[in-house]
């Protein structure tokens, strides 16, 4: 794997709300793989939500993969390219999106890392810890997929297309 690309995997969600913790668990699991494979160019972050300060966090990276749980009608997971918001981005204290963070990064730091959103399908959202069986299955598939992507030289070198990559 080319080690000149600086990569950040940034998950967000609430592990105290069952499957909303999918992103956080993803970061834990991929961290084990990163250590095993000795990949010092891949950093990991995890938080409850995205914050405006994250624009600076991603500004020093070549590739960023945001990871979040999803209740959308997707089969198991989806990786899609993130593009900056058009026009003036909207922000509330509870709603910073990956697109908004990328827009801030571009405007404040004149940086434009190749950015993706990995959505992992969740099913249960109650106030308790632990993932549902379906979410665990989707997590395993998403981990396998991203591990392959991170070792694929073509993926690491590709030019963004504005499309889903799966």
Tokens of 3: 């080690």
- Please name each of the domains of the chain with its CATH number: 7-157 (3.40.50.1450)
Asked whether 40 and 91 are in contact (CB, 8 A), the reply is: no
**pLDDT tier at 1, thresholds 50, 70, 90:** very low
Helix/strand/coil percentages in the chain, nearest 5: 35, 20, 45
Q: What is the pLDDT of residue 84?
A: 87
Spatial distance between the Cα atoms of 65 and 23, rounded to a whole number of angstroms: 11
- List, in sequence order, the alpha helices (H) in 4-117: 22-37, 54-59, 98-109
pLDDT (tens digit per residue) in 10-49: 999 999 999 999 999 999 999 999 999 999 999 999 999 9
**The tokens of 129 are what?**
């810890």
| 64 within 8 A of 113, measured Cβ to Cβ | yes
Identify the pLDDT of residue 157: 86
pTM equals: 0.92
């Amino acid at each position: 794997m080319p080690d000149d690309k600086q990569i950040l995997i940034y998950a967000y969600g609430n592990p105290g709300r069952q499957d909303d913790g999918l992103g956080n668990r993803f970061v834990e699991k991929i961290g084990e793989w990163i250590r095993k494979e000795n990949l010092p160019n891949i950093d990991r972050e995890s938080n409850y939500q995205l914050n405006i300060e994250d624009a600076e966090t991603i500004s020093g990276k070549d590739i960023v993969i945001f990871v979040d749980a999803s209740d959308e009608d997707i089969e198991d997971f989806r990786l899609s390219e993130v593009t900056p918001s058009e026009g003036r981005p909207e922000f509330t204290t509870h709603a910073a999106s990956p697109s908004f963070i990328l827009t801030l990064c571009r405007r404040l730091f004149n940086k434009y890392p190749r950015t993706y959103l990995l959505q992992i399908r969740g099913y249960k959202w109650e106030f308790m810890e632990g993932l549902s069986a379906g979410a665990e299955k989707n997590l395993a598939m998403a981990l396998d997929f991203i591990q392959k992507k991170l070792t694929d030289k073509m993926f690491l070198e590709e030019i963004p297309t504005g499309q889903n990559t799966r």
